[in-house]
Structure 1
Amino acid sequence: MKYLVTGGVGFIGSNLVDKLLADGHEVVVVDNLISENSIARLKNGELSHWDDNQNLSLIKEDINSISDFSIFDNVDALFHLAALPNVQLSIDKPIEYHKANITGTLNMLYACNRAKIKRFIFSSSSAVYGEPKTLPSKEEAHLDYKSPYALHKVVGEQYCQLFTSLYGIETISLRYFNVYGKRQPMKGAYAPVMGIFSNQTLNNMPITINGDGKQYRDFVYVGDVVTANILSANIKFNNYDVFNIGSGIEFSINKVADLFDNKLPRKYKSPINEPRKSLADIRKARSVLQWKPKMQLIDWINDYKLKLGI
């Protein structure tokens, strides 16, 4: 099989590419390589195992300015992970984020239709639920987006559904909850809380927490997210669908900080525009995709600390 992965040098994308290559598939990676984290992965040798792989083509290109559409030829499915993912920055830079997240998604759907690519897997987000009124959040729950980023994901899902209706492209939207694991950014604007805590614990720094730390989240391992993507590419169906990809287990931010190191001092910062609670109902993904998360957050943190000797 031949797959195209946008944002394939990113955190989740690079893990997906690794798995596809390990399974013997041909992979085309399209990435604009403007993220500091993505550039670092290439420079520090983290992805050096890609260098001599004949099944991999790495194309430095922005999805909004593709110059050679032949890269889409004979592709069986497209995984669209390229995005600007920071909620607060989407509020500060709504036009830039709109172009990357909405126009970029539309361009990739258009490319799929033009190249007759059968399936499109869209990386959406639990941000579409905003502050959920009921928990755990089901896929059919009311969408209460609170930021341009969340709105962009809703529009992306709607474009997927529309392209299925108009052009017959099989599209699946995966609503990721809080993803953690291998190659997660450790610092910077796009670092998730797990990456930030990892970095602070490693460097014996105070653990910074937005708000009171009593807000809770659903954390899902990147390897399990990769599995959900691959299952979505291979499931037999010919329509549009959407799935929550989380663990179905909640942890408070304070609890996660304690799991890393309960002796390090805490530095509480002013709360930012984020929901107090987030929890996925994953029964649909279990039933339809035959997917289930395998990694437990506590096990991963303990293993991570053991490897680093902390």
Structure 2
Amino acid sequence: MKVAVTGAAGFVGTNLINQLVADGHDVVAIDRVSPAHAIDHAQVTWLSADIFDQPALESAFDGVDTVYHLVAMITLKQKDELAWRVNTEGVASTARAALAAGVRRFVHCSSIHSFDQYTDNGVVVETSRRSEDPELPVYDRSKWAGEQELRKVIAEGLDAVICNPTGVYGPVDHGLSRINGMLRDAAQGKVPLFPEGTFDLVDVRDVALGLTLAAEHGVTGENYLLGGEQVRLFDAMRIVAKDCGRPRPIAALPLGVLKVFVPLIEPIGHRLGSDLVSKASIAALVAQPTVDITKARTVLGYQPRSSADTLSDLDAFLADSRQMGSARPKSGRRFTSVVPA
């Protein structure tokens, strides 16, 4: 089967292509950049295209059965015009190109952040309150708005489903996401302190598989939460540091203490181009919702792996890809991709 992936050079895109190739599909990999670690495989054809160039996308989608739309701009900023446009208008443009090209199915990779994390009962399900509050970060609001744009195209006849991954981590990751970057630093013994807090983390390989399961079994117009396991980030950092024989984080900083300093630290980070320490990043840890993935398990047959397996594989991948300096897992474990990258 011929399928297309937008945002193919990214973190989720790389792992999705691995999965699709392993499943025997021919993949049209679409991105605006030429990744240094692009998957070089006979079943993968790379195309450069802009998601706002609808005619180019229609041409790229010619003869394609399924489109996986992964393009998104992740930010913790309160306002960002480009992020808003990419995450809303970009979804609409890509979806309309798919409809015009006669694509059979469209799978949109949204985010858990399109749901308001502060639920009444502390549990997020597919029917939970959405991210409409104007006080929420632009990423949260734009991901929900992007889903609304997609629903307009569904009403015009597009067969589409929506997946909402939680915090994505694990291998393969050549650019290092925020979470993977922090875990890499911990594995090198560079994180003596870290904020208290837990978050539902999901292995990127499980997200990739979940997207393909949604393409096969998902119901048109439905959302599916792709979660993994509730992980205390401080514990995860201690695990990877111990596995690599490096000093483990000493203490978890109470969130109440950290919130006092955020108003002072956030402006400095903003001037340095960083949003790691911000009201939004702390809010994500404070909310700590439980994500109920019963619907994905029941309808899609989705079964995520344990955090222990992900952390072990991540350590091995980072060491094998030389992203950890001299740090290496004590087990000597090696990481093998689904297909050569």
TM-score grouping bracket, smaller chain normalisation: 0.7 to 0.9
Per-residue deviation, residues 222-270 of structure 1 (Å, max 9, x unmatched): 1111111111111264x310011002x3122222222223643469664
CA distance in 2, matches of 1:82, 1:286: 25
The structure-2 alpha-carbon separation of the partners of 1:250 and 1:27, relative to structure 1 and needing over 3 Å to count, comes to same
Name 2:306's counterpart in structure 1. 296
Name 1:149's counterpart in structure 2. 139
Name 2:212's counterpart in structure 1. 230
The structure-2 alpha-carbon separation of the partners of 1:304 and 1:231, relative to structure 1 and needing over 3 Å to count, comes to closer
Note the C-alpha offset of 1:27. Answer: 0.9
Name 2:2's counterpart in structure 1. 2
CA distance in 2, matches of 1:299, 1:236: 27
SS of the counterpart of 1:243?
strand
CA distance in 1, matches of 2:108, 2:193: 32
The structure-2 alpha-carbon separation of the partners of 1:299 and 1:22, relative to structure 1 and needing over 3 Å to count, comes to closer
- Out of 184, 187, 198, the residue aligned to residue 183 of structure 2 is 198
The structure-2 alpha-carbon separation of the partners of 1:300 and 1:170, relative to structure 1 and needing over 3 Å to count, comes to same
User: AA paired with 2:122?
Assistant: L
Name 2:51's counterpart in structure 1. 63
Name 1:160's counterpart in structure 2. 150
The structure-2 alpha-carbon separation of the partners of 1:265 and 1:240, relative to structure 1 and needing over 3 Å to count, comes to closer
SS of the counterpart of 1:85?
coil
* Matching of residue 216 in structure 1 with residue 198 in structure 2: yes
SS of the counterpart of 1:99?
helix
SS of the counterpart of 1:240?
coil
Number of residue pairs the alignment of both structures matches: 284
* Over 4 Å off, 4+ runs: 265-269
User: AA paired with 1:231?
Assistant: L
Could you tell which deviates more after superposition, 141-150 or 171-180? 141-150
Question: 1:18-57 maps to which residues of 2 (within 5 A)?
Answer: 18-33=18-33, 42-43=35-36, 46-47=37-38, 50-51=39-40, 53-57=41-45
* Matching of residue 100 in structure 1 with residue 110 in structure 2: no
Task: List runs of 5+ in structure 2 lacking aligned partners.
Answer: 263-276, 320-327, 330-341
Note the C-alpha offset of 1:207. Answer: 4.9
The structure-2 alpha-carbon separation of the partners of 1:303 and 1:230, relative to structure 1 and needing over 3 Å to count, comes to closer
CA distance in 1, matches of 2:250, 2:223: 38
The structure-2 alpha-carbon separation of the partners of 1:255 and 1:99, relative to structure 1 and needing over 3 Å to count, comes to same
SS of the counterpart of 2:110?
strand
CA distance in 1, matches of 2:310, 2:298: 25
Per-residue deviation, residues 191-220 of structure 1 (Å, max 9, x unmatched): 322x123321343312563xx32x210111
User: AA paired with 2:307?
Assistant: L
Q: TM-score, structure 1 length as denominator?
A: 0.83
Contact 1:3 1:27 (C-alpha < 8 Å) held by counterparts: yes
Contact 2:199 2:231 (C-alpha < 8 Å) held by counterparts: yes
Contact 2:200 2:227 (C-alpha < 8 Å) held by counterparts: yes
Note the C-alpha offset of 1:101. Answer: 1.3
